[in-house]
Structure 1
Amino acid sequence: MELIDVFATVVEQQSLNKASQLLNVSQPALSRKIMRLEEELGIQLFVRKGKRLELTRAGEVCYEFALEQKRLERRLHEKLQAFKTSIKPASIVIGASLTTLQSTLPDLITIYTREYPNTDIKAVTGKTHEIVPLIKEKRVDIGLVASMIEDPSIVCVPLFDDPLCLVLPEGHPFADKEELFIQDLHELPMILFSRGTWYRVLMDEMFHRCGVHPDVKMEIDSFEAITRLVSTCKTATLLPESYLRHNLIEDNELTVRFIPELEQTKRTTSLLFTEEAVLEPSIRRFIDQAVRHYHTADEYTL
């Protein structure tokens, strides 16, 4: 399974150069490993587009298998751990909306597992209105949503405000324009979130308020798909700032522009849980670390 692991690393780093540094092998050696895997499988896993590597559909299937393999290996180690110690491994079930699952949850899990690597963390995806009852029914321990929830049976801790940004492909007429205003979005070809999603509702309210009507070419509910299509279709989009990591912008050859009205159009990402849930040490530690990470410890103390 070594070649599959190497392949997964290349996918996750989105760069042969970065993957070779992480794996401590030369780039030519890494390229040979990928070629050997493609020869063994008898199918192409990547296509090159300029400086970028892009997965083929077969590559996507292969990566899904690699992720499943990692999960199985992790579960194996967790099961075997039970034979080495009488202490039951800690576990946390997190309910996350799609936006927070893609943009915020990976960082929080990385921070937590760095200090508590043996914790079994599971994620359940759902819309915000679906996550709230799961918390009440104790089917998830913590909720992570891009919203503020007012419910007397749930504690809501705000982590950070997340404004919208205008994202453009390199070479777009607006990319180097000295100043941009919300009216510049009128009739601008754009790819936006699907109707009914929280971010789309936020956008539509802002468009209506400002009298702006963009030319919506596509409506999609996936951050990743929108990001790729912006470059491919040479259109603009609006994305939350928390999702716009440096490597994402660089690898997809995108430009980010800030417009005052967009900066005021923001959601608040929050943690949701019951007072009873924090009696569990692992859950309390996760919440504490999340709060410290976003510098809101002065606003909330368990």
Structure 2
Amino acid sequence: MEQFDMFVTVVQQQSLNKASQLLNISQPALSRKIMKLEQELGVELFRRKGKRLELTRAGEVCYEYALDQQRLERKLHDSLRAFRSATKPASIVIGASLTTLQSTLPDLITIYTREHPHTDIKAVTGKTHEVVPLVKEKKVDIGLVASQIDDPGLVSVPLFDDHLCLVLPAAHPYADHAGLTVHDLHELPMILFSRGTWYRVLMDEMFHRCGVHPDVKMEIDSFEAIVRLVATCQTATLLPESYLRHPLVGNNELTVRFVPELEQTKRTTSLLYTEEAALEAPIRRFIDLAVKHYR
């Protein structure tokens, strides 16, 4: 690489004398290095015209290659700079339940990376009962779940309360009905979350309490799949209010109805972490930002 660097300097100066002064090397020594490079490549790189040097066609090709090598070397050093520094690149691993992954986590990551763009954030998904041990065993730094957790080994910070809404296709018979109650859901064709998810547990408890038995056509884990299928199948569903952003509702031609019994069926979304994890600056910043955002 040293010979190519010298070659580039000679090309740019168009003079062995000027190049030797910049490189702090004698002109004869520089001339020998250029000749050695020509011998190794098997081509003539320069034509001598008096005191001036002109590149041959082979020299032009070699010059472009040498510039590319210099750019690659600079890029390599830039990429390695973080590893040579005293501090390692910041990273956060977040364990999220499926519902919070789709409704809450995207906003928090967007806000955090806007202020700290070089932090590497990874997400691990699972049900709430799977996320809790991941945080306790330090397999993830932070947990984000749609539930309140009381565990002596964890700090649980409530972010916000969320309730369920009735979501209908725009052409559904109930779309324009005023004063809907939970009893209007009895035998109503619906697509609901799969059994075992926190929101489905919440729904089933409410249905049992109110003596309501909807006609469950499908059970699905994904918010996005439910939204698409509700419009396609012309069925109803129950979704948390935090997920129902205006573009999502409008783009899928849905309507949202607030039912008193559903508004009373609340779930608290919480951040989970260990006191030890919170001592690390990137994790502490994420926690503080999340609390500030929702309060």
Equivalent in the alignment of 2:50: none
Distance (Å, rounded) in 2 between the aligned partners of 1:254 and 1:287? 34
Does the residue aligned with 1:282 lie in a helix, a strand or coil?
helix
Aligned to 2:132: 132
* Cα distance in 1, alignment partners of residues 137 and 79 from structure 2: 27
Q: Distance in 2 between matches of 1:179 and 1:84?
A: 65
- Compute the displacement of 1:197 (Å): 1.4
Question: What secondary structure, in the 3-state scheme, does the structure 2 residue paired with 1:271 have?
Answer: strand
TM-score, normalization by structure 1: 0.70
> Partner of 1:247 in structure 2?
247
Closer, same or farther: CA 175–84 of 1 in aligned 2, 3 Å: farther
**Partners of 1:173 and 1:141 in 2: CA distance:** 46
**Helix, strand or coil at the partner of 1:180:** coil
Q: Is the counterpart of residue 215 in structure 1 residue 205 in structure 2?
A: no
Partner of 1:115 in structure 2? 115
Evaluate the alpha carbon distance shift between residue 187 and residue 278 of structure 1 in structure 2; reply closer, same or farther with a 3 A threshold: same
| Matched letter for residue 292 of structure 1 | K
CA separation in 1, counterparts of 2:188 and 2:203?
14
Match of 2:185 in 1: 185
1:41-56 equivalences under 5 Å are none
Percent of counterpart pairs with the same letter? 81
Residue of structure 1 in register with 2:236 after alignment: 236
Q: Which residue is 1:149 aligned to?
A: 149
Q: Which moved more, 1:150-159 or 1:85-94?
A: 85-94
Corresponding residue for 1:72?
Answer: none
- What is the Cα deviation at residue 86 of structure 1? 4.8
Against the structure 1 CA distance between its residues 115 and 181, is the aligned structure 2 distance closer, same or farther, given a 3 Å change threshold? same
Q: Who is 2:262 aligned against?
A: 262
Q: Distance in 2 between matches of 1:213 and 1:161?
A: 26
1:130 to partner: Cα distance: 1.1
Confirm whether residue 163 of structure 1 aligns to residue 143 of structure 2. no
Q: After superposition, where does 1:101-112 map in structure 2 within 5 Å?
A: 101-112=101-112
Which residue matches 1:71?
none
User: Take 2:141 and 2:164, find their aligned partners in 1: how far apart are those partners?
Assistant: 29
Q: State how far apart, in whole Å, the 2-side matches of 1:161 and 1:83 are.
A: 42
* 1:290 corresponding residue in structure 2: 290
Rg larger for: 2
Structure 1 runs (4+) deviating above 6 angstroms are: none
Deviation at 1:79, TM superposition (A): 5.4
Q: Could you tell me how far apart the structure 1 residues matched to 2:247 and 2:81 are?
A: 36
The aligned counterpart of 1:57 is none
Q: Deviations over 1:212-261 (max 9, x none)?
A: 11111111111000000000000000001111011100100000000010
Instruction: Return the alpha-carbon distance in structure 2 between the equivalents of residues 83 and 199 of structure 1.
Output: 44
* AA of the residue aligned to 1:128: T
Q: Distance in 2 between matches of 1:85 and 1:141?
A: 23
Residue segments in structure 2 that go unaligned for 5+ positions in a row: 1-75
* 3-state SS of paired residue (2:100): helix
CA RMSD of aligned residues (A): 1.6
Question: Which residue matches 1:273?
Answer: 273
Deviation at 1:201, TM superposition (A): 1.0
Distance 1:217 1:87 in 2: 54
1:133 to partner: Cα distance: 1.1
Residues 238 and 138 of structure 1: CA distance in aligned 2, closer, same or farther (over 3 Å): same
Q: Measure the CA separation in 2 of the matches of 1:89 and 1:114.
A: 17
- Kindly state the Cα deviation for residue 278 of structure 1 after the two structures are TM-superposed: 0.9
> In the superposition, relative to structure 1, how do residues 238 and 81 fare at CA in structure 2: closer, same or farther (>3 Å)?
farther
CA distance in 2, matches of 1:108, 1:79: 27
Total equivalences in the alignment:
219
SS at 2:93's partner residue?
strand
Whole-angstrom CA distance in 1 between matches of 2:279 and 2:84: 26
